[in-house]
């Protein structure tokens, strides 16, 4: 079903389709001492506190044309934060042409799009392994919309908002709407892959795998950085302070952690 702004389907009533995007990102760090681990968690809590996360979600709301009705936010002890927004349709008369395109969405500016009542949430999960020297930070963001625009248009901005080593993304269209003849529509836009909503310059940085169930309108993409620079994973010092043997062992441990997260299963460390 190819849709353009000139071929928009006239619906019977409101567009009742629910479109949900789940965006999960992971940051990994090697922290060899208890002090380093605690400092890393404190840094993450400061960098991604509830106020900053609220600002990110408000930008998401701008991109998808939502009016923020209510914000609930909380920083947790000892770590982590959550923000939930209830949003409604913005003051827009018509939806822009890019609503119909399977392409990367815009970055925040004066962008507005058509949206019905829905919600946006984020939760963070900093944690560390007590023995292995690995600390991780995960953020889960969910954008759920009803109406014409897909939350995939916010994906480009979300990726740029987090310095991430691994990403997993899920997109699903649920329910149905009807055209003026009563014919059910279970999706109102073309999509073959979430990757088509990610700019080429970002895709070139990651290994990507798709797992899609087209007949159920379920799409899944996971990404892992291609390049590995050990300095990006050390907290408070650089690799030139380590011996070659230490560098090799730490790199092996970090890559193993990343592979387990990317493939979603425990692996035998050799």
Question: Among 121, 158, 161, which Cα is nearest to 143's?
Answer: 121
Tell me the three state secondary structure of residue 80. Answer: coil
Distance (Å, whole) CA 106 – CA 113: 11
**Is omega for the bond preceding 78 within 30 degrees of 0, making it cis?**
yes
Structure-token pair, residue 263:
């493939």
Among candidate residues 146, 150, 189, 223, the one labeled active-site is 146
Structure-token pair, residue 103:
């392409």
Instruction: Clarify whether 146 is annotated catalytic.
Output: yes
Question: Among 65, 55, 109, 111, which Cα is nearest to 87's?
Answer: 65
Distance (Å, whole) CA 162 – CA 69: 25
Q: Which helix (H) or strand (E) covers residue 263, if one does?
A: helix 244-263
Among candidate residues 67, 119, 123, 220, the one labeled active-site is 123
Distance from chain centroid for Cα 41:
21
Among candidate residues 116, 118, 150, 161, the one labeled active-site is 118
Structure-token pair, residue 55:
């600002």
Question: Among 52, 21, 60, which Cα is nearest to 142's?
Answer: 21
Distance (Å, whole) CA 64 – CA 111: 8
Instruction: Clarify whether 22 is annotated catalytic.
Output: no
Name the residue with tokens 């000892």: 78
Instruction: Clarify whether 99 is annotated catalytic.
Output: no
* Active site members: 118, 123, 146
């Amino acid at each position: 079903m190819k849709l353009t702004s000139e071929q928009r389907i006239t619906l019977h009533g409101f567009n009742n389709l629910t479109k949900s995007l789940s965006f999960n990102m992971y940051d990994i760090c090697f922290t060899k001492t208890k002090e380093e681990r605690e400092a890393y968690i404190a840094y993450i809590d400061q960098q991604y506190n509830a106020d900053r996360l609220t600002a990110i979600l408000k930008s998401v709301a701008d991109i998808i044309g939502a009016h923020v009705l209510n914000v609930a936010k909380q920083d947790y002890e000892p770590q982590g934060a959550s923000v939930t927004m209830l949003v409604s349709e913005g003051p827009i008369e018509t939806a822009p042409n890019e609503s119909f395109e399977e392409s990367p969405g815009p970055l925040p500016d004066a962008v507005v799009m058509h949206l019905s009542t829905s919600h946006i949430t984020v939760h963070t999960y900093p944690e560390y392994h007590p023995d292995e020297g690995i600390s991780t930070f995960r953020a889960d963001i969910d954008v759920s919309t009803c109406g014409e625009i897909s939350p995939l248009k916010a994906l480009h901005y979300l990726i740029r908002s987090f310095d991430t080593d691994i990403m997993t993304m899920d997109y699903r269209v649920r329910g149905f709407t009807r055209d003026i003849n009563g014919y059910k529509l279970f999706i109102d836009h073309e999509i073959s892959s979430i990757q088509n909503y990610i700019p080429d310059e970002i895709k070139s940085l990651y290994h990507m795998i798709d797992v899609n169930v087209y007949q159920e309108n379920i799409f899944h993409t996971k990404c892992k950085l291609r390049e590995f620079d050990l300095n990006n994973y050390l907290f408070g010092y650089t690799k030139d302070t380590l011996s070659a043997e230490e560098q090799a062992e730490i790199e092996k441990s970090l890559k193993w952690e990343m592979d387990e997260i990317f493939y979603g299963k425990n692996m035998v460390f050799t």
